Structure formats: structure tokens, C-alpha cells
Structure 1
Amino acid sequence: MKHIHAFGDDVLGEHDAVGVARAIAAGEFSAADAADAALARIDAVNPQLAAIAYDDRERARVRAQANGFAGVFAGVPSLIKNNTDFAGLPTKQGSAAVAERPAAAHEKFTEEFLGTGVNVLAASTLPPFGLSATTEFVDREPTRNPWDTDFSCGASSGGSAALVAAGAVPIAHANDGGGSIRIPAAACGLVGLKPTRGRTAPVPASAKSPVDLVVNGVVTRSVRDTAYFLADLERQRPVKGLDPVGLVEGPGTRRLRIALIVDPITGQPLDPDTARALTDTAELLTELGHQVEQVPLPVDPSYIRQFTDYWALLAFSFDHQGSTLTGRGFDRAALDPFTRGLSRRFARGFYRLPSSIIGLKRATAKLRRAFADYDVIASPTLAHTTPEIGYLDPAGDFDEIFDRLIRYVAFTPANNSSGTPAVSVPLATSSTGMPIGLHFSADLGDERTLLELAYELEAARPFARIQDA
């Protein structure tokens, strides 16, 4: 066990991203100072965390010296997840099978992200193709959780979450196709908002799929940073068909009708620490004046098979169309065992895919009907506390690891297939001191309600800080 962080008395101090940007704008220190401090912090913790896929420090230093940043986070050091094209860096997708070829240009979301003013120092790690809920590999060291390096940091945005939690940078890119923003946020004690589908620039491959699961976003240490990020994206590109979020700067005054989900779709009970966290949160919500009512799951157990069929299709696509999806030089022989196992699972049940897609769309309608009676649905982010490294070993017995994953991530996928927004908020800790995330979702386009509630909960129960643990 090792508990590590990079917080200190340099220029970054304990600022969140808004705080760093305001200090740079006020002339307290420069973007170059911020970049140098963040790089020193990365160098201090990354040997233990293994959260950097590609370093881009020399170009980042040049950008910082030029100081041509504009946006709400002008000059703030950050990271890009290594499944998103950033010109000049290889987009390896976390897999040894993908050729190490620098991207020729930024993809659309990268341009939006840079439009907020961030200075990208490096690309962060993810498990192969983002298909797992832990950032572990068969060909290199796992990315570790800074709260306890014996434990998983979650996934698939694991590298970003580990370095934000450790204080190396205040904000980092993440994306989410089944919980990949919210899972590592929960594991590492961060705020992780999956926006409504379409709120941020789409992921090119996912947008062309029958069900677009993947949404870009960020992981942060404060609700404020997440709120300012969304508002600045909206400044750049208002989204047709969705209500504007605007800049949310604090709790709302409206008391909410909140549906409480206590039973995972898989049917297994919550572990004691997670159950206690959910009960405590329900009591807090009631004390704050919200109406909380325990309700049945808004989707049927058949959803498990429907989602996992579609999830397995993604692995099959990389297995059989890797060159088309990732470019020349793809080495199928270098695919990891978990991706291969998931691909084989799809091949055995490929005939179910049409009915599974129909089922996912029906589940969306059923989930959205719940918002006719409730403003927010609340649950744990994960069905049990963060596991140790090795529990979800990608080289382990596929059927056992697959079953463990399904049980672990029981609450998050429904928001991906439906496109609805959801946020993980670090409101609790386990009996061993590890963060526990609580999960709140709302109807399409209603990120404002989630942010207002998250602000209120953050004020009522300030998030545990790694530097105090």
C-alpha cells in the first residue's frame, strides 16, 4: 500500500482549474510557471501511478511560453485521454495492437477542449480500447490509484483520474461509453459528469454506430470546474435540440423529487460500505429538503444481455476491423486476452444483435418515463467498493472477469445507451479510507439540475481530500 499525492507549496497549490486560470489572469504566475509546476508534479507521482501514455512536455512548454491561450481555463495544465486524436501524438487506444503513428490532426472534441484554454502536457492511459473498468494491462504496469496504489483507479479514463486525484493537474479529459468518466471518478474521489449525448463533440466511430454510447467530458476535483467546463463549451458551440445549461455557479433553490435505486440490476446486494454510503446520502438529501423515494429499477434485467451484446460488438470490431478503425500497422496478434475474449463472446451470440439494439432503445424509453415523476435518479456509482489491482486482471479467466465487471458496473451503462446525463460525486469513503462515489442522473439536457444538486451536496458534505487522508 502506498498513498501518494503531489500537492505542495508551488504555484498550483491547492487551486482547482478555475483558481489556476484566475491566478494566471491576475498575473500571480504565468502559464509557463503553471506548466512547469504540473510537470514537476507528474514527475513526482507518475513513477508510482503509471498514468502517462505519451509525454508532450516540450511542445507544451513552447505553448506556455507563447501564452496564446483563450477560454475559461486559459493556461491551465491538463491531459488528453489517449483514445482521442491530438495532433503529433500517437492515438494508441491503450493497446499494443495499434501502431505508434502520430495523429495528423486534432479531432473535433480536442479542438473544443483546447478552446477552453487548457495546455495539454501529455496523453493519459486507458485500458485497451476502453473496454474494461480498470486500467490494467498484460504488457506493462497498471495505472494505480493514488489513494492506495494497491487498488484500481477505475477506467477507462483511469490515467486522467489518477493524476487529477493526485494533484498533478486540476482537470483532465475523459470520455464515457459505459461509465468511463464516472467509474474512475468514483474510484479516485473526483467529480465525473457524463454530459447528455451531443452536448460535446461526438467521438467519430461511436457517432456512426447504431447506438452512440460515447460522450466526451472531464474529471475534476470541484463541481465548479465541471460547471465552468460545460459553460465554456456552450460558449464555443451552442447545441441545437438541447436546452442550454448556462454557467451554474451554485446550488439551486428548487427542492427535487429524487428516486432512490438501492438494488443493482444484477440482483446481488450492495456491499456494507456502499450500502451505508447510499443510506447516508439519502438521509442528507432529505435533510436538505428534497423528497426521496425508493423505487424499483427503471429498466428490466434483460438490459444486461442487451448492453453486453453491444459492448462485445465493439471488441469484435477492433478484433476484425482494427486496421479500418485505427489505421495501418494494426497488429491483431498483439490484442490483449480480454478484448479477444469479448470478441469471441460476440461471435457466439451475433444473431442477437438486432434484438439487443431494439431492447436498448426500449430501455431508453422506459428510463426516460421515470423522469415524468422524478427530477433525479440516485444510486451508488458502483455496486461495490473499488477492487484491488488484479481483481479485474485482463489476462485472467475471461468468464470470471466478465462476470466481475458486470457486477461492478451495474449502475452506469443505462445513461450511455439512453444518452441521458449523469454525475458521480465523491460523497463517502469506505471503512478502509477509499473514495465512494454517489450517482445522480437526469433527463436529456438537464445537466443544470445535476450541477446545482452537486454544488449543494459538495457544500453540505465537503469532499475528502487526498492531502488530508
Structure 2
Amino acid sequence: MKLQEYAAYDATELAELVRGRDVTAVELIRLAREAHDRINPTINAVIELYDDAESVPGSDDGPFAGVPFLRKDISSTEAGRLYECGSRLYRGYRPTVDSYFVERARAGGLRLIGRTTTTELGVSGLSETVMCGITRNPWNLDRTAGGSSSGSGAAVAAGIVPMASASDGGGSTRIPASYCGLVGLNPSRGRISGGPNGQDPGHGMSRRFVLCRTIRDAAAALDVLSGSYPGDPFLIPQPKRAYVEELSQPAGRLKVGVALSSWAEVKLDPEIRDRVAETAKALEEMGHVVEEIGPPFSASEYRELITGSYYVGYSRLEAQARALGRKLDQTTLELLNLVIYEKAKTLPLSYAEKVFELMRKIRFDVGSAVQAYDLLLTPTMAHTALPHDTYSMNLGSMPADKLLTFDAAICQYIGVFSATGQPSISLPLFDSADGLPIGIQIVGRFADEATVLRVARDLEQAIPWASRRPPVFAGTSE
């Protein structure tokens, strides 16, 4: 197999070739390394490609048998491998346990061959850190790949691997999906375990999954990675059938609420609004009932929830630094994270209760506003990929409070569904006039990934994206 062929296939087809003995897992890993060596110096998506990648374990007959896979360097751990969270605080740290996500990925046949860049501690929707440098978007090197699953988004878009791990506490899977032209599903809360040492990440806000290029890969990955374990805090209804099987089922006639207005302070780009309207028309032509909806929550309460969640979460940093034998200062943390930590120390215990009450209220408000709909259709982001210098974790052009407010506002259509726990998927349906991807989001009822995937399949067929490739791509002939 040549590199151009490898980069063109999705994970499902590569696995079929491995099972059919047309190619071996080792050959695929060598091709991934070739793609990495060719592309990564330009985009800086992979922070480490394992020296022993050709001998990593993985099932030989799972749905993704032999497929190279990269791990976002936060959220999921591999025993004995570096886990540095994009931060100097964790430099050199090697956990002693595999996360359940990693165990299930290997059982499904994926070969974990390296780590991708992430923003420090998963903060920021951009893609630059002191520790990792700038991760560049393969569609335009001057634009961000999105955060915090920065490297995973850039690596999959550029064809280094067909799939990579991601996690999403306020949009961190769907932002790079939208900016890099990928499929980015954030499953329902409780669908994928965060265990054994992170069963309740972000107090229910954060979920793990993957970035990929096709709906069938997303469905198969959901089958592979889903599962509950002792200690998981959320019980969720189980699917009626495998998600891959759902792709052969009709979507039925659905009622869809469509967002065509801004939901927060950052205004919706008119070009993106037009693409949402175009998607709504496509759904109507499929027989669905579509009607416009307004913002289902208070923008000020949403902003306070997102920023408050940072402060509540950062109260744990001191104990983590102590366990690592390090101190918290500008030698270990970027300035934004240090400012968040310092403020978190001054807040009373009652502040956490206030944040949790805001989360409860927003869940109720959104649930009440959208209960009549089977699905929601929204922009993923209010704009296309931002320039790298839009703001900085070093707070050079924007103070911390303003930065957090802006970061929440640019995630106005996605962070709220991290809070509600509903499944949501960003689809790479369109490109902008200047050649940047435009992501469109489909949001389902809680625990109903099946309907989301069936409609996503229909849109993939109606507005196909498989042939679109970024200028920086491993499969492009030199």
C-alpha cells in the first residue's frame, strides 16, 4: 500500500484490509510514521510517536483491527507512557494504569502509536501552549486547529491517522472537528466511562470519544468504546442494537429545532447562518419538520457556569502538584491557568454550590425549551477557525476575565450541551468562501445517539464531504 492510498481510507476500510490480509497492522503503522515524518514538522500535531509503535498491542479481529490511533495527551492514560496534559506541571509524568478507554480501544483493534498535542490542562479553544508550541490547521497554517483536542484534529485532518482520541468538557472535540473539517461526536453523559481514575470528569461536563472522517467510523467507535464500570456515577439507557447497525435503519420523520440566531455575545457569521439554513432545507427535503428556535438558556448564566466551572475544577491543582513534587507558579503553569488557580483559592465553598445550581438550572431551562423536538440543528461554531493570535494563555492581549468570557461565548452552541449531557455531533458539511471548514451541529435527546447517527448518515449522503482534502495532507502527491 502506498501513502496516498493509506491516507484516503477511513478506519473501517483499513481494518477490512487487515482482516482480509491485504495489508498488515505493521505496514499501516509504518505508513502512519511516514505520514507523520512528512506532515508533522509543518503542523505540530503529534508530541510523541512511540519508538516501539510497531509492537504495540491490539486485537487482530476487532472492528478496527490494525488501525493506527493517536491518544490525546489528556483524559485517557496508558500505563508507563507519558501523560503530560500539555503542561510543564506534568512534564515526565507516567501513570501506572490504563484507562478503560484505552483498554477498550485496544480490544477493538486500534494500535495506540503516540500522543497528540493539547492545550494546557485542556483550557482554551485555540491550539498553542508553552510546552507544545503551536499546532497548525492543515486547511490554513495561520489558523488554529481548535482546542483542546488540537493535535488529534490536525493529525486526522492531515491524514496521519484516520482516527484519534478526543475529549470534550465544553466543546473540545467539536471545536477542532468544526475547524479542521472532521466528524466530532460528543456522546451522552455516561455512555463512555472515564474510569478507573476519572469517572466524573468536570462534574459531569466532560466526555471522551474520537475525531474521525466518516459517520461509519463514529458509529463503530461508539460500539467499541461504550460501556459502564463499577464506580461510574451515571447510569444510561443502553442502545437497542449496535450503532453500526443503526446506520441501516431509517431515520423516520423527525421534528427539528434550528438555531439561526446568536446565543451569546459573539455574533453568528452570516455565511455560517446561511449554511445552517441550507442544512435545514436539506432536512425538510428528507421529510423532517423544521422550525426555528431561539436561545434556550440565559447567555449570562451560561457564561457564569462555564467560567465558574474552571474555578471549581482548579481547586484540585494544589494536591496534584504536591503529588508530583512540584509547585504552582509560572515555571509550571501558563499565566491564565495560574490566575484561575489563584482566584479559585480565594472563593468560599459556597461558590461551588452556586456553580452546581447554575448547571442544574441550565439543564432544566434547556430541557424545557427543547422537549418538543427530536433533534436540534445549530452551527458548531459561530465562525471559522480563528487566527493563532486571537488571544493568548499568557494574557498579553486580553485579561483573564475577558478571555474566559470570550472563550465561553465562542462555544455558545456547544458548551451548553456538555452541561445538559445530550449527544451532539459536528459534521463537516461545508467550506467557507475562503476555503475553511464550516461545522454544523446535530443535537439529540439524552441517550439517543442512534437518531443522531442516522440523520448524520443521511446528511453525509446528501452533502458529501469525503472528497475534500486540506492543502496540507499526507496523501497529496509531491
| Cα separation, partners in 2 of 1:447 and 1:79, compared to 1, 3 Å | same
| Cα separation, partners in 2 of 1:62 and 1:432, compared to 1, 3 Å | same
Equivalent-residue separation in structure 1 for 2:18 and 2:353 (angstroms): 53
* Alignment: residue pair count: 457
2:65 corresponds to: 74
Which deviations, in whole Å up to 9, do the C-alpha atoms of 1:405-445 show, x marking residues without a partner? Answer: 12211111112122111100111111210101111111211
1:172 corresponds to: 164
Does residue 243 (structure 1) correspond to residue 238 (structure 2)? The answer is yes
Equivalent-residue separation in structure 1 for 2:194 and 2:12 (angstroms): 25
1:234 to partner: Cα distance: 4.6
Residues 285-364 of structure 1 mapped to structure 2, 5 A cutoff: 285-301=283-299, 302-318=301-317, 320-323=318-321, 327-333=323-329, 334-347=332-345, 350=348, 351-364=350-363
Contact 1:203 1:216 in 2 (8 A): no
Equivalent-residue separation in structure 2 for 1:169 and 1:21 (angstroms): 13
Correspondence for 1:433 among 427, 435, 448: 435
SS in 2 for 1:80: strand
2:250 corresponds to: 252
Contact 1:54 1:89 in 2 (8 A): no
1:223 to partner: Cα distance: 0.6
2:30 corresponds to: 36
Equivalent-residue separation in structure 1 for 2:433 and 2:2 (angstroms): 27
1:150 to partner: Cα distance: 0.7
Residues 18-417 of structure 1 mapped to structure 2, 5 A cutoff: 18-58=12-52, 60-63=53-56, 68-83=59-74, 84-202=76-194, 207-208=199-200, 211-234=203-226, 241-244=236-239, 246=242, 247=244, 248-250=246-248, 252-301=250-299, 302-318=301-317, 320-323=318-321, 327-333=323-329, 334-347=332-345, 350=348, 351-396=350-395, 397=398, 398-417=400-419
Equivalent-residue separation in structure 2 for 1:210 and 1:92 (angstroms): 18
| Cα separation, partners in 2 of 1:347 and 1:305, compared to 1, 3 Å | farther
Q: TM (normalized to structure 2)? A: 0.89
1:3 corresponds to: none
| Cα separation, partners in 2 of 1:259 and 1:164, compared to 1, 3 Å | same
SS in 1 for 2:210: strand
| Cα separation, partners in 2 of 1:120 and 1:206, compared to 1, 3 Å | closer
| Cα separation, partners in 2 of 1:102 and 1:267, compared to 1, 3 Å | closer
SS in 2 for 1:332: coil
Equivalent-residue separation in structure 2 for 1:81 and 1:286 (angstroms): 37
CA RMSD for the aligned pairs?
2.4
Per mean C-alpha deviation after superposition, the further-off stretch among 154-163 and 80-89 is: 80-89
1:105 to partner: Cα distance: 2.2
Contact 2:67 2:111 in 1 (8 A): yes
| Cα separation, partners in 2 of 1:149 and 1:8, compared to 1, 3 Å | farther
Gaps of 5+ in 2: 472-478
Contact 2:201 2:207 in 1 (8 A): no
| Cα separation, partners in 2 of 1:465 and 1:348, compared to 1, 3 Å | farther
| Cα separation, partners in 2 of 1:384 and 1:463, compared to 1, 3 Å | same
Q: TM (normalized to structure 1)? A: 0.91
Which deviations, in whole Å up to 9, do the C-alpha atoms of 1:169-221 show, x marking residues without a partner? Answer: 00111111111111111110000000111111125665346832111101100
Contact 2:305 2:355 in 1 (8 A): yes
| Cα separation, partners in 2 of 1:330 and 1:423, compared to 1, 3 Å | farther
1:4 corresponds to: none
2:450 corresponds to: 448
Equivalent-residue separation in structure 2 for 1:52 and 1:36 (angstroms): 15
| Cα separation, partners in 2 of 1:346 and 1:237, compared to 1, 3 Å | closer
Equivalent-residue separation in structure 2 for 1:307 and 1:142 (angstroms): 25
SS in 2 for 1:433: coil
Equivalent-residue separation in structure 2 for 1:291 and 1:243 (angstroms): 27
Contact 1:165 1:466 in 2 (8 A): no
Per mean C-alpha deviation after superposition, the further-off stretch among 237-246 and 94-103 is: 237-246
Gaps of 5+ in 1: 1-6
1:345 to partner: Cα distance: 4.7
